[in-house]
Amino acid sequence: MQQIVDLEAASEYQALNVPVVSIAFDAPEVLAAAGAEYGVDGTPLLTDTDQSVSAAYDVLQWAAGTGEPGHTFILVDERGKIAWIRDYGVVEKSMYVDPFEIANQVRDSLNS
């Protein structure tokens, strides 16, 4: 959740005008509680308990040992097609990625 909070606050990312949506296997009430605890402000926290969205975007190829998707970012264009995808897995023993890095990669994808 800290990743979402930091993307919401990162001016470099916000300048791209690309909304963030979080999709996880957790139940809605679990996501709502975590979002409130971390102070998520405006980012939709969606649940994928049947794994259909994860399967549709083929992120389960990077699934952790528990079967849950890793830390995957997907840029979906206005037609619903994947314009950029990147799985960060475990980065330095955490799943956090610097928002500036994400902003740069999304910006590059938008400009290509």
82, 57 Cβ separation under 8 angstroms: yes
pLDDT tens digits, 28-85: 999 999 999 999 999 999 999 999 998 898 888 887 777 777 778 888 877 788 888 8
Q: In the prediction, which pLDDT does 44 show?
A: 94
Q: In the prediction, which pLDDT does 93 show?
A: 52
Confidence band (pLDDT; 50, 70, 90) for 94?
A: low
**Domain count within the chain:** 1
Q: In the prediction, which pLDDT does 87 show?
A: 84
Domain that holds residue 24: 2-111
Q: In the prediction, which pLDDT does 90 show?
A: 58
Burial (CB count <10 Å: 0-12, 13-18, 19+), residue 36: exposed
- Please state, in angstroms and rounded to a whole number, the distance separating the CA atoms of residues 101 and 84: 14
CATH number at residue 27: 3.40.30.10
